[in-house]
């Protein structure tokens, strides 16, 4: 006889994974859409600052390689990751607290989970380009998550718009000690999502017992 969990209550890891899945599947597509949206605005600024219109080049947004999507907070990306690890995207949860009206719910447990998405982008051109990439990648993250606010039915919904924090621009050499210099900048988006689950009961439990042949 064994007991299996059929539904988690707090759901921290499920929520984290659902956000990661949605970004993994859709962020790079959203990056293309955002890049196209800003082309006319970039050209307008280019010409207003006295540059030759014929030399204008749109700002590209680098796509994120599959191996650069991370579940959890990866501090080593900031300290000593090689240039091949940029751009990147990390998804992690930091806390779960009872939702505002959870006390009113009879057969449900409701949590307000904090989910954080951190993205870091790079540029080998200048601070202005890396800043454009950082801000626009943040836009693409939010667009991707708002395209399905239930995250495939895993959550009840987002409780509010994200809190967005833009980091400073840093300069590093390609191998951290020598080689060409490049610029990188990070953006942090903090989301509060609502996760509801049925409470265990004698009639319907989150646990299920199964028979295992011991012979």
Task: Show me where the domains of the chain are located.
Answer: 2-28+63-210
Q: Is 120 helix (H, G, I), strand (E, B) or coil?
A: strand
SS3 180: coil
Who wins on pLDDT, 170 or 5?
170
Beta bridge partners, 92, equal 116
Burial of 31 (0-12, 13-18, 19+ CB in 10 A): buried
pTM of the predicted structure, to 2 decimals: 0.85
Give the span between the Cα atoms of 76 and 177, in whole angstroms.
Answer: 16
Question: Closest Cα to residue 12, out of 22, 24, 20, 2?
Answer: 20
φ, ψ for residue 55, nearest 5 deg: -100, 5
The DSSP call for residue 171 is E
Q: How far apart are CA 118 and CA 29, in angstroms?
A: 18
The per-residue pLDDT for range 61-99, each reduced to its tens digit, is: 999 999 999 999 887 777 678 889 999 999 999 988 877
Q: What is the mean pLDDT of residues 98-127?
A: 82
**Centroid of chain to Cα 78:** 16
Grade residue 17 by pLDDT with cuts at 50, 70 and 90. Answer: very high
Q: Which CATH superfamily is domain 2-28+63-210 in?
A: Phage minor tail protein U (3.30.70.1700)
Tell me the CA distances in angstroms from 114 to 78, 127, 153, one per residue in order. Answer: 22, 31, 17
Which residues, listed in sequence order, are joined to residue 194 by a DSSP beta bridge?
112, 157
User: Is residue 44 over pLDDT 70?
Assistant: yes
């Amino acid at each position: 006889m064994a007991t299996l969990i059929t539904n988690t209550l707090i759901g921290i890891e499920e929520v984290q994974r659902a956000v990661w899945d949605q970004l993994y599947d859709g962020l790079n597509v959203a990056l293309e859409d955002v890049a196209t949206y800003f082309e006319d605005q970039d050209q307008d600024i280019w010409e207003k600052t006295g540059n030759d219109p014929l030399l204008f080049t749109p700002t590209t947004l680098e796509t994120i390689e599959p191996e650069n999507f991370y579940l959890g907070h990866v501090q080593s990306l900031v300290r000593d990751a090689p240039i091949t690890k940029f751009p990147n995207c990390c998804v992690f949860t930091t806390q779960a607290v009872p939702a505002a009206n959870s006390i009113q719910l009879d057969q449900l447990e409701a949590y307000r989970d904090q989910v954080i998405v951190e993205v870091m982008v790079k540029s080998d051109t200048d601070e202005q380009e890396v800043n454009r990439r950082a801000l626009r990648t943040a836009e693409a993250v939010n667009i991707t998550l708002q395209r399905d606010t239930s995250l495939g039915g895993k959550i009840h919904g987002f409780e509010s718009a994200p809190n967005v924090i833009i980091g400073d621009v840093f300069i590093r050499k390609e191998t951290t000690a020598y080689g060409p210099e490049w610029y990188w900048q990070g953006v942090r988006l903090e989301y509060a999502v609502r996760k509801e689950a049925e409470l265990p009961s004698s009639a319907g439990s989150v646990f299920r017992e199964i028979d295992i042949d011991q012979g």
